[in-house]
Amino acid sequence: MAGRRLQLPLLCLLLQGATAILFAIFVRYDQETDAARWHWGNHSNTDNEFYFRYPSFQDVHAMVFVGFGFLMVFLQRYGYSSLGFTFLLAAFTLQWATLVQGFLRSYRDGHIPVGMESMIDADFCAGALLISLGAVLGRTGPAQLLLMALLEVALFGLNEFVLLCLLEVRDAGGSMTIHTFGAYFGLVLSRVLYKPHLEKSKHRQGSVYHSDLFAMIGTMFLWIFWPSFNSALTSRGAGQPRTALNTYYSLTASTLSTFALSALVEEDGRLDMVHVQNAALAGGVVVGTASEMMLTPFGALAAGCLAGAVSTLGYKFFTPILESKFKIQDTCGVHNLHGMPGVLGALLGALVTGLATHDAYGDGLQTVFPLIAEGQRSATSQAVYQLFGLFVTLAFASAGGGLVGFLLRLPYLDAPSDSQCYEDQIYWEVPEVHDKVQEALRMEEADSQA
């Protein structure tokens, strides 16, 4: 017990110490943030580049942490953990992703340069981590999650490097690198960590009225700032506003189709809050790759509409099958919000890529598809690369999730027992009000030991 008590503190300090040492050795301000290397002569370029990135950075930062953090508060007795572990993962991931992404993508002369762009990159990586967290939420302890982050960030970075730098695939809003990767990593991980007697914690798995309202804070933030998320790292010029616009319309369409399907599939025509909280957002995922391209406003509506419908049907019909037949427990339904819409988004991206012409993009072809503009690839060949990128992502995510799953099953880690899932009191001091819960838990535990 004393060992378990020390596990989280020691792990935190160890990881913080290690990243701090690596920061001291390798990480340096980039041209934008280094007082000595900034030149006012660059005014019209560098300076504006900063204006260009800064508001996007704050929007992404708000969306990822407020958005994913509060979306997970829907669980009635797991709000402290949902928000607290979001912070914990964020804190470690942002440091560690800076190092991993830096080594793979911008390491030069013995140093990793950091600035606004690397901060947005790290935020994106944290987004993928929080998606994976959504799959195993309530069935994993904080020390397990830190170990997951240690490995998942490395794999995320590797996959992203292969896609963006080796295959030169386009994926500005991360349908593949963020959503597909995060979701399938988490789902395979969840499969390996399968809890056979989870029905003992079933009564805590749902929401209560107020916890659903808290979750809607997350939904709102995701819905509002998704245009900035998808466009944060697009090329300057028409790229960013077009990406924002496509995302904006795609989300409106996924919201309408979610309401339609939600009322349709429930027996008495009532709406389901879970669908609105989640499936309404599928429009942001499905255009993660294609929103940067000349998708057309109609294309954005059609894609969003489809994604909302698929996601809602997923929640209603597929999640129960996933659990009963495939033994994959998926707390937040990330398969419906990030998995299927992410794969659809990758396919849509490949399709729109294959249709790219010089006429449609004009000079903008250079910024969206530089290899096509330079004649190194045809549109069709770039589309095949896009599809290959999806395949690579699924492979990395599945292998990684499986591997990490076996690691997290190590004894001595802080996994909750089957009867203690979805319960804050395992990891947090909770105000007296929950005394009765504590009693009930003690009895449950006694039961499960008997």
Site for a second copy in 354-383 (CB under 8 A): 359-365, 367-368
Residue closer to a second copy by CB (options 198, 302) is: 302
Of residues 380 through 439, those in contact with a second copy by CB under 8 A are 427-434
Of 222, 354, 236, 237, the C-alpha closest to 288 is 222
For the chain, the straight-line distance linking the first and the last C-alpha, in angstroms and rounded, comes to 20
* Structure-block tokens of residue 379: 């549109």
Q: Least CB distance from residue 390 to a second copy, whole Å?
A: 24
Which alpha helices (H) appear in 287-363, and where do they start and end? 297-313, 319-324, 334, 340-354, 358-361
* Selected binder of a second copy within 156, 181, 214, 385 (CB under 8 A): 214
Write the DSSP symbol of residue 393.
Answer: H
Write the DSSP symbol of residue 111.
Answer: B
Which range, of 152-160, 271-279, 326-334, 396-404, touches a second copy by CB under 8 A? 271-279
Q: Are 293 and 313 in contact (CB under 8 A)?
A: no
Cα dihedral value 63, 64, 68, 73, nearest 10: -70
Distance CA 220, CA 287 (A): 18
* Selected binder of a second copy within 266, 435, 445, 447 (CB under 8 A): 266
Q: Are 136 and 193 in contact (CB under 8 A)?
A: yes
The pattern of x and - marking residues 227 through 256 that bind a second copy according to CB under 8 A reads xx-------xxxxxxx-xx--xx-xxx-xx
* Residue 175 φ then ψ, to 5°: -55, -40
Distance CA 7, CA 277 (A): 35
Residue closer to a second copy by CB (options 191, 242) is: 242
* Selected binder of a second copy within 18, 154, 167, 273 (CB under 8 A): 273
Q: Least CB distance from residue 187 to a second copy, whole Å?
A: 25
Q: Least CB distance from residue 226 to a second copy, whole Å?
A: 10
* Selected binder of a second copy within 209, 375, 436, 450 (CB under 8 A): 209
Residue closer to a second copy by CB (options 196, 269) is: 269
Of residues 168 through 197, those in contact with a second copy by CB under 8 A are none
* Structure-block tokens of residue 52: 């260009």
CA contacts within 13 A on the Cβ side of 330: 28
Residue closer to a second copy by CB (options 32, 328) is: 32
Residue closer to a second copy by CB (options 196, 433) is: 433
* Selected binder of a second copy within 80, 107, 194, 326 (CB under 8 A): 80
Of residues 46 through 75, those in contact with a second copy by CB under 8 A are 47-48, 50-52, 54-55, 57-59, 61-62, 65-66, 69-70, 73
Number of residues that bind a second copy (CB under 8 A): 134
Q: Least CB distance from residue 108 to a second copy, whole Å?
A: 16
Which range, of 90-98, 315-323, 377-385, 394-402, touches a second copy by CB under 8 A? 90-98
Of 157, 149, 88, the C-alpha closest to 121 is 157
Query: Any contact of residue 34 with a second copy (CB under 8 A)?
Result: yes
Distance CA 436, CA 357 (A): 66
Of residues 148 through 167, those in contact with a second copy by CB under 8 A are none
Q: Are 253 and 283 in contact (CB under 8 A)?
A: yes
Residue closer to a second copy by CB (options 391, 428) is: 428
Query: Any contact of residue 35 with a second copy (CB under 8 A)?
Result: yes
Of residues 315 through 344, those in contact with a second copy by CB under 8 A are none
Burial 113-125 (b: 16+ CB within 10 A, else e): bbbbbbbbbbbbb
Residue closer to a second copy by CB (options 187, 216) is: 216
Of residues 91 through 150, those in contact with a second copy by CB under 8 A are 91-92, 94-95, 114-116, 119, 142
Q: Are 380 and 159 in contact (CB under 8 A)?
A: no
| Total residue length of the chain | 450
* Selected binder of a second copy within 153, 189, 301, 404 (CB under 8 A): 301
Question: Kindly report the CA angle at 67 between 180 and 199, in degrees rounded to 5?
Answer: 70
Q: Are 290 and 348 in contact (CB under 8 A)?
A: yes
Which residues, in sequence order, are CB contacts of 323 under 8 Å at separation 6+? 329, 330
Which range, of 35-43, 160-168, 322-330, 338-346, touches a second copy by CB under 8 A? 35-43
Query: Any contact of residue 224 with a second copy (CB under 8 A)?
Result: yes
* Residue 283 φ then ψ, to 5°: -60, -30
* Selected binder of a second copy within 18, 29, 413, 417 (CB under 8 A): 29
